[in-house]
Amino acid sequence: MDNTPFRPSGKSIERLLITGLILFGWALIAVLRLIDLQVFAHDKYVRAAEEQQDKRRLIEPVRGPILDRNGEYLAISSPSLIAVVNPLRITNMAAAADLLGTILGLDVQKLDQDLEAAVHSRHPGYFVVESRVTEEKAAELRALNLDWLDIRQGSVRSYPNHQLAAHVVGNVGGDGRGAAGIEARLNKDLAGKPGYLRVKVDVRGQAYDSEVAVPPVAGKTVALTIDSEIQHTAEEALEESVVKNHADHGSVVAMDPNTGEVFALANYPTYDLEEHLHAGEKQHGREDLAVVSPFEPGSVFKVVTISAALETTNLTPMSLFDCSNGSFPQYGRVIHDAERHGTLTLADVLAKSSNIGAVRIGMVVGMANMYEYVRRFGFGQKTGIELPAEARGMVRPLKRWTPNSMGSVPMGHEISVTSLQLAQLGSVIANGGFLVHPHIVAWKQAPGAPKEYTRPARPLPVLKPETVMTMRALMRRVVQPGGTASRLHVIGYSLAGKTGTAQIFDFAHHVYTHKYNASFMGMAPSTNPRIVVVVTISGTTGEAGFGASAAGPVFEAVMSTALRRLNVPRDVPDEIETLLAKNPKTVAAKETDDTSLASLNPPTEEEMKEASAADSDADTGSVHAAADGPKAPNLVGKTVKDVMEEAASNGIEVELYGSGLSRVQSPPPGAALVPGQPVQVRFAH
């Protein structure tokens, strides 16, 4: 046996050294890598780990409530779980709709349509499937682990009064943004600012810890000028009139003529704010007609014509006009009155609503002056109310007026206006001659901040105080015996107003139809108007569809409620009302308006579409009767004709109620009269 000691060869030692160096190198690399990871790249990988574990989730802010002028809730949000999907990530819409619809109890077909439509919406990556998800349903949906579905803590929008003031309040769409009305116009104020929640999740994506990173900011509270009771009355009365007269639709606006505050703005048909439209469904009843839908106003517009005449000509209420016995040829056409009249005073032209008389007055005024006053009253311009899509109406530029225009515009044709603009017109007469800008937002308030009150634009002077006083007196005659609205009555208050019955133009056949826009624009108390109400019923027919018959009862209901709600003092003595109750009116003038062919140059369909696109108060100061001023004559025991003649000879105004012989008057015989104060006379058989 060889006991020679083993001596590794040089090559073995070399291989051993190389292997050792390789192992050392690997060890050194590992150590350096560990140093890099734990020292130099520590923060980077901590952030990466946090990104895997920490998720940032949106915290929806609570949408601000909407109140009426008395603090009653019209819209409110409450906490709720909401199911949100990202339609852009869904590969099979039908399957997704079937799955979600089955779990949440929704209409699968409509949900499928909604998801398809959401892809092409303004916010295609966000669609609320259900805003009222129970905890049980939420757990079931979370268990599906779908990357396009999320269950969030949010809020649900509800409308306690359902359809009350629907066109004013509006609602929110599937993306959580305001879709109509105040909800849309003030969406930024109401929506608030979202916050963020930092959530820690495990490897399966399940949350095990969370903290609020950025708290949400709740939306502002918005208070409207709307009075819920006046609004409710307006909606009920409007619906009754539209249905009774088999009309197409109607609108009501009630406002304060001095401040522009809108107490009620109603349309019929209407809709329930709790019902949301699905893709493909029509917007029936959702259009705010009083604001966005202009129409030819008809005889209501004679207020503008006569106001312009009193200011720009030498005409007076007693100026005479030949009304051609009801038929007046002009430039190849014939203008008719609904009743034949011979010679009428300017005052009677308004009271009896003579088309021919209005045209003759307009011819004296002239095109330039007529156009100026149309614009002065705000027509052809937006009022600026805080509601979306307001129409400016249609007023042709003066250079496009023709001789025929003066046979149309003075009686309210060849021009289009909205019901809101008519309320603005009535306010000029009611407030002493100033153009006020209607507004419907009273104030806004952010959480913890003071209220931000609306500051309306400064009123613009339109008419002289003396013109206003004369126009009120003329408009009072409209609701007295012989006027077109003599049946209208509001207990305890004197009224002034103007009827309108404009034929509706058929664009398809290029003719005026025998369907009407029936309107009434009125104010009360006539001695110092506090409220203006405009009613328009569209699509009426026959004499029952004239302005006073169709729109008058709505006016009475709304005005009565508004006067009571606002505690406006009565101006008609109790003895007058007592006598009226014992001896109701038995004879009333036939209610007529411009119900004949009105214009050879009506607004075109394109013009109507374009129209839809888009410090002193002469009546509120303290006045006193002078000792040597006019005295009330003794009018008791006389006929209507005798009373009118004696009033004219004494230069005083009278307001007449009922028919037969005069039984009582106020002020009594011999009492001193305040300048401009009318004597109220009640007649009975």
So what's the pLDDT on residue 22?
84
So what's the pLDDT on residue 468?
96
pLDDT tens per residue, range 450-478: 999 998 888 999 999 999 999 999 999 99
Report which listed range, 58-72, 224-238, 586-600, is most confident.
224-238
So what's the pLDDT on residue 507?
75
Q: Are 55 and 196 in contact (CB under 8 A)?
A: no
Quote the percentage of the chain above a pLDDT of 70: 84
Check whether domain 621-685 has CATH 3.30.10.20, yes or no:
yes
So what's the pLDDT on residue 615?
35
Which CATH code for domain 228-271+289-581+588-612?
3.40.710.10
So what's the pLDDT on residue 214?
83
Give pTM, 2 decimals.
Answer: 0.80
Q: 550: which residues sit within 8 A by CB, 6+ positions away?
A: 241, 245, 247, 518, 537, 540, 544
* Three-state SS sequence of 346-412: HHHHHHCCCHHHHHHHHHHHCHHHHHHHHHHCCCCCCCCCCCCCCCCCECCCHHHCCHHHHHCHHHC
So what's the pLDDT on residue 330?
82
Q: Are 411 and 598 in contact (CB under 8 A)?
A: yes
pLDDT tens per residue, range 335-352: 888 888 899 999 999 999
Tokens of 150: 């999320």
DSSP letters, 582-642, are HS------------S---SSPPPHHHHHHHH-----TTTS-----TTS-B----TT-BHHH
User: Is residue 586 over pLDDT 60?
Assistant: no
> How many angstroms separate the CA atoms of 667 and 678, rounded?
9
pLDDT tens per residue, range 148-171: 888 877 778 899 999 999 999 999
Q: What is the largest CA-CA distance in the chain?
A: 166
Average pLDDT estimate for 357-365:
96
Strand, helix or coil at 491? coil
Q: How confident is the model at residue 115 (pLDDT cuts 50, 70, 90)?
A: confident
* Of 382, 378, 402, the residue nearest 390 (C-alpha): 382
> How many angstroms separate the CA atoms of 205 and 96, rounded?
21
User: Is residue 359 over pLDDT 90?
Assistant: yes
User: Is residue 8 over pLDDT 80?
Assistant: no
Average pLDDT estimate for 122-145:
83
For residue 20, which phi and psi values (nearest 5 degrees)?
A: -65, -40
Quote the percentage of the chain above a pLDDT of 90: 47
* Of 57, 320, 95, the residue nearest 199 (C-alpha): 57
Q: Comparing 140-149, 202-211, 377-386, 415-424, which segment has the lowest mean pLDDT?
A: 202-211
Average pLDDT, the chain: 84
So what's the pLDDT on residue 667?
76
Q: Residue 400, Cα to own-chain centre: how many angstroms?
A: 31
So what's the pLDDT on residue 70?
96
For 683, other C-beta atoms within 10 Å of its C-beta total 24
For 499, other C-beta atoms within 10 Å of its C-beta total 32
So what's the pLDDT on residue 624?
37
Name which CATH class applies to 56-224: alpha beta
Between 321 and 81, the more confident residue is 321
So what's the pLDDT on residue 203?
57
Residue-range domain boundaries for the chain: 56-224, 228-271+289-581+588-612, 621-685
Between 225 and 41, the more confident residue is 225
* Of 221, 302, 666, 232, the residue nearest 483 (C-alpha): 302
User: Is residue 594 over pLDDT 70?
Assistant: no
Average pLDDT estimate for 303-317:
96
> How many angstroms separate the CA atoms of 202 and 200, rounded?
7
Beta pairing class for 320-322 and 262-268 = unpaired
Report which listed range, 7-21, 94-108, 552-566, is most confident.
552-566
* Of 59, 275, 75, 294, the residue nearest 181 (C-alpha): 75
Between 7 and 231, the more confident residue is 231
Tokens of 634: 């003794």
Residues in the chain, how many?
Answer: 685
Residue 36 DSSP class: I
